[in-house]
């Protein structure tokens, strides 16, 4: 049982490094997102091939068509996240994008008619209040932090929609037959959107590809894979809170790499946001068990 908690910790660390790697990369955000997803798809293709051969009878054209909406959401999320993460601090970007547990009950209510209780609404209001507290100074000062925070908030809503669709698509014969086509299609969408900047990228430099492979292997493959594993083997409340708190790691790393020192207000807002997320997570009804793959 202990190793499952270790894997959850690795998932949180891997996912939290996304903002740091994006900030380190000089590549255009849309180009970066395209190649990040396509490289992940290529690396995971052997897994897809094995799963497709095992479940080819249960993986229909309708299954493939149902991967298109989440592919679009994931593509726009990655592109907007890469853009927004460069306009604000690593700490604020990570704090905002990990509000997914707060947005999820409302999206699930809309998509699959899951009921929302009053405590979830209260927790959401508290968490949004914390985000407003950390964003307000940038809004009044007219600085880039407000724009970056707003983009990260929109990006958070996109990934929350992606996760909510994953909940609705629980009947796929294999998790891999769901996520790998999504990675590939989202990569193609980003690639098409990045055409105006591809000429400048060319073949890319060695440094460009180091960050692309790092993003594909660490937060995309390792982070996403272990997150899906953790959700299936640990309490959802624990996984939700663990990922909501992952902004702590980028904050520490950004302090040493980028010399970013959050204002005192950030720490107060973080406590408020985590309190709101905790209310939402622990008040949520127990989800039905996942389908047997």
Say what the pLDDT of residue 140 is: 47
Computed over every residue of the chain, the mean pLDDT equals 83
| Distance from C-alpha of 258 to C-alpha of 4, rounded to nearest angstrom | 33
Coil, strand, or helix at residue 31? helix
Token pair in block for residue 223: 């982070």
The verdict on residue 119 lying in a domain is: yes
Please provide the size of the chain in residues.
293
Q: What is the pTM of this model?
A: 0.82
Lowest mean pLDDT among 63-67, 136-140, 253-257, 260-264: 136-140
Of residues 128 and 150, more confidence is placed in 150
Q: What does the alpha-carbon distance between residue 107 and residue 226 come to, in Å, rounded to a whole number?
A: 23
pLDDT of residue 281: 72
CA distance 38 to 22: 16
Structure tokens at 139: 């809004």
Give the range of the structural domain holding residue 182, as residue numbers without chain letter. Answer: 2-283
Confidence of residue 244 (pLDDT cuts 50, 70, 90): confident
Write out the DSSP string of 99-154: THHHHHHHHHHHHH-----HHHHHHHHHHHHHHHHHHHHHHHHT-HHHHHHHHHHH
The pLDDT tens digits of the residues spanning 183-215 come to: 999 999 999 999 999 988 888 889 999 999 999
Q: Is residue 291 part of a domain?
A: no
Average pLDDT over residues 215-219: 95
218 pLDDT above the threshold of 60: yes
Residue 197, pLDDT score: 93
pLDDT of 290 above 50 = no
Residue among 63, 69, 35, 32 at smallest CA distance from 188: 35
Residue 288: inside a domain: no
Backbone angles phi, psi at 87, to 5 degrees: -100, -10
Between residues 202 and 217, which one has the greater pLDDT? 217
**Does any domain span residue 292?**
no
Residue 240 placed within a domain = yes
How many Å apart are CA 127 and CA 143, to the nearest integer?
22
- Structural domains of the chain, count: 1
pLDDT (tens digit per residue) in 268-288: 888 888 888 788 777 765 555
- In a domain? residue 289: no
Q: Considering the domain boundaries, does residue 290 fall inside one? A: no
Residue 293 has pLDDT above 50, yes or no: no
Q: Tens digits of per-residue pLDDT, 150-184?
A: 899 999 899 888 877 877 787 888 888 998 999 99
- Is 293 a domain residue? no
């Amino acid at each position: 049982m202990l190793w499952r908690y270790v894997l959850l910790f690795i998932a949180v660390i891997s996912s939290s490094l996304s903002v740091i790697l994006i900030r380190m990369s000089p590549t255009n955000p849309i180009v970066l997102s395209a190649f990040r997803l396509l490289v992940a798809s290529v690396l995971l293709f052997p897994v897809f091939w094995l799963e497709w051969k095992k479940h080819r009878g249960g993986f229909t054209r309708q299954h493939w068509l149902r991967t298109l909406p989440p592919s679009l959401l994931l593509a726009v999320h990655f592109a907007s996240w890469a853009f927004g993460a460069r306009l604000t601090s690593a700490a604020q970007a990570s704090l905002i994008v990990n509000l997914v547990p707060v947005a999820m009950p409302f999206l699930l209510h809309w998509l699959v008619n899951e009921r929302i209780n009053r405590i979830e609404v209260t927790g959401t209001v508290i968490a949004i209040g914390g985000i407003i507290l950390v964003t307000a100074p940038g809004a009044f000062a007219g600085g880039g932090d407000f724009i970056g925070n707003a983009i990260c908030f929109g990006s958070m809503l996109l990934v929350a929609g992606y996760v909510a669709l994953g909940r609705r698509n629980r009947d796929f014969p294999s998790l891999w037959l769901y996520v790998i086509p999504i990675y590939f299609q989202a990569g193609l969408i980003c690639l098409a959107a990045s055409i105006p900047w591809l000429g400048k990228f060319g073949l890319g430099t060695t440094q460009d590809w180091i960050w692309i492979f790092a993003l594909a292997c660490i937060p995309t493959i390792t982070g996403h894979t272990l997150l899906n594993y953790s959700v299936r083997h640990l309490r959802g409340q624990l996984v939700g809170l663990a990922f909501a708190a992952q902004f702590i790691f980028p904050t520490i790393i950004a302090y040493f790499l980028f010399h970013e020192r959050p204002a005192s207000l950030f720490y107060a807002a973080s406590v408020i946001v985590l309190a709101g997320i905790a209310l939402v997570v622990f008040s949520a009804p127990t989800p039905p068990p996942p389908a047997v793959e």
